[in-house]
Amino acid sequence: MAEGEKKVMVAVDDSECNRYAFEWFLENLLPSLSTQLYVFHVEPLDNISYAYAASLGAAPPQLIEALQDQQRKITKVLVDKIKEICTKRSITAEIITVRGEPKDAICEAVEKYQIELLVLGSHGRGALQRAFLGSVSNYCVHHAKCPVLVVKKPKQTSGAS
């Protein structure tokens, strides 16, 4: 790492809000920073957990295997897209993929890689949805051991004149 470079990690998933946050970071912050960029993706375990819960802990191995295979395919498409974006912009980034609970994995990676700025997207959920589904960005704001930038995608307004 060159002197003066900051370690920045952008957490991504296959959601529109996280794609927006990644693109926003590349357009608005990256040009003014000297950074070592990490792009971090977590393959969530939710689908597998839901399968176990729905089957009362007796999920057929074929179902678990199919869910894992599907998640690997989603991850490959996402990582390929990130690589394509970085190549087009002549950006060097270390792309890291892990499996686990996203909020925990992101905070652990911040410590492991000694990240100095974490960038994530906001899903823009209301209070009720956050209560039931949780909020990765909210968790990271409170638990990551570095500054956290949460990028919120602007709401689309109708073009009524």
- Asked whether residue 49 is domain-assigned, the answer is no
Residue at token pair 């000694």: 114
- Asked whether residue 62 is domain-assigned, the answer is no
Question: At residue 40, does pLDDT exceed 50?
Answer: yes
Write the CATH number for 120.
Answer: 3.40.50.620
- Asked whether residue 56 is domain-assigned, the answer is no
- Asked whether residue 96 is domain-assigned, the answer is yes
The pLDDT value given to residue 143: 94
- Asked whether residue 33 is domain-assigned, the answer is yes
- Asked whether residue 93 is domain-assigned, the answer is yes
Do 15 and 123 contact (CB within 8 A), yes or no? yes
The pLDDT value given to residue 129: 47
Question: At residue 39, does pLDDT exceed 70?
Answer: yes
Q: Tokens in use for 29? A: 């912050």
- Asked whether residue 51 is domain-assigned, the answer is no
Q: Where are the alpha helices (DSSP H) in 3-59?
A: 16-28, 46-54
pLDDT in tens, 11-23: 998 888 888 999 9
- Asked whether residue 135 is domain-assigned, the answer is yes
pLDDT in tens, 147-160: 999 998 887 755 55
pLDDT in tens, 114-142: 999 999 998 755 554 444 445 888 889 99
The pLDDT value given to residue 150: 92
Q: How many domains does the chain contain in total?
A: 1
C-beta atoms surrounding 112 within 10 Å: 10
What pTM value is reported for the model?
A: 0.79
Q: What single string gives the DSSP state of each residue in 92-161? A: -EEEEEEEE-HHHHHHHHHHHTT-SEEEEEE----HHHHHHH--HHHHHHHH-SS-EEEEEPPPP-----
Q: Residue 129's domain spans which residues?
A: 6-42+74-152
Do 2 and 34 contact (CB within 8 A), yes or no? yes
Average pLDDT over residues 60-67: 74
Residue at token pair 């802990």: 57
